[in-house]
Amino acid sequence: MAVVSIPGGGEVDQLYADTRELRLQGFLLFLVSDVVLFSSFIFAYLYLRNSGQGWPPPGIARPPISLAALNSAILFGSGATMHYALENFKRGNFLRYSSLMLWTILLGILFLCGQGIEYTTLYFQDHVSWAGSGIFGASFFTLTGMHGFHVFCGICYLVVLLLQSVHGVYDKNKYFGLTAGTLYWHFVDVIWVVLFSIFYLI
């Protein structure tokens, strides 16, 4: 960063931020607005939940915590593999990076399968559905579905990143896409912590 001195005004750094910095900031702001999107639905859920019908509403059983806990473990595991994938890339350890990326993608897919199993049991066994089970179905399927969609997009993004890095788009000094992918994946993890707590723990 160049330092420029200004007549009568001391020094300021930099003419233009480099574009990587711009993109990182833009991406972070995008995540902020995504947080707001989730928060709004979470607010809606908590608001409805406290509207005086008791929770879960009469006639509806809570989904079992065991499967969800296993699923959470899978997702957090993928967060760890993602973290080490990036670390390895930075150190130039391309093979380990690739295999860790593959693990992350695989665990992500596993998480979605777990969610699929949960949804089908709820639907076929307990007859809980999105539109037919009052505010429970509405908030549960909307929020977890939104999160699942984010996981799905994340998986697609990671696949693209992996292909790009195989084709040598990124190197040790220039890996903005990978940083963004990691950030996004951790973001999806954190959202899940919140969803898990509000749907299964409290």
Partner 1 sequence: MSVIAEHGGIAEHIHPEPQGFVRKYVFSLDHKIIGIQYIITAFVFFVLAGCLAEIIRIQLMHANGGFVTANTYDEVYSIHGSAMVWLVIIPMLTGGFGNFVMPVQLGARDVAFPWLNMISFWLFPVAGLMLFSSFLMGAPVAGWTEYPPMSLQGGAGTSMWCAAIFLVGVSSTLTGINFLVTILKMRAPGMTFTRMPLFCWGQLATAPLLMIATTALAAALAALFMERQFGVPFYDPTKGGSPVLWQHMFWFYSHPAVYIMILPAFGIMSEVISVFSRKPVFGYRMIAFSSAAIALAGFMVWAHHMFTSGIAPYMQLPFMVLTFAIAVPTGIKIFSWLATMWGGKIHLTTSMLFALGFLVLFTFGGISGVFLAAIPFDLHVHGTYFIPAHLHFVLVGGSLMGIFSGMYYWFPKMTGRYLSEFWGRVHFALFVIGFLGTFLPMHWLGAEGMPRRVASYDPQFQWVNQLESIFSFIMTAAILIFFVNMLYCIRNGKKAGHNPWGARTLEWQIPSPPPYYNFKHIPSVFGLPYDFTEPLPYTHLEDELTDAPVTVGAQ
User: Which residues are at the interface with partner 1 (CB under 8 A)?
Assistant: 2, 4, 6-9, 12, 14-19, 21-23, 25-26, 29-30, 32-34, 36-37, 39-41, 43-44, 47-48, 51, 53, 57, 130-132, 134-135, 137-139, 142
3-state secondary structure at position 145: helix
CB of 114 or CB of 137, closer to partner 1:
137
Q: Report, in Å, the least distance between residue 104 CB and partner 1.
A: 27
3-state secondary structure at position 171: strand
**Bridge partners, 5 (sequence order):** 11
Q: Report, in Å, the least distance between residue 106 CB and partner 1.
A: 31
114 touches 155 (CB < 8 A): no
Q: Report, in Å, the least distance between residue 187 CB and partner 1.
A: 15
CB of 56 or CB of 108, closer to partner 1:
56
Cα–Cα distance for residue pair 24/174, rounded to 1 Å: 13
Neighbours of 162 (CB within 10 A): 19
196 touches 63 (CB < 8 A): no
Q: Which H or E run includes 127? A: none
Q: Report, in Å, the least distance between residue 94 CB and partner 1.
A: 25
CB of 41 or CB of 103, closer to partner 1:
41
Q: Report, in Å, the least distance between residue 97 CB and partner 1.
A: 26
CB of 28 or CB of 73, closer to partner 1:
28
3-state secondary structure at position 14: coil
Q: What are the two backbone dihedrals, phi and then psi, of residue 8, each rounded to the nearest 5 degrees?
A: 70, 5
CB of 7 or CB of 92, closer to partner 1:
7
Neighbours of 117 (CB within 10 A): 12
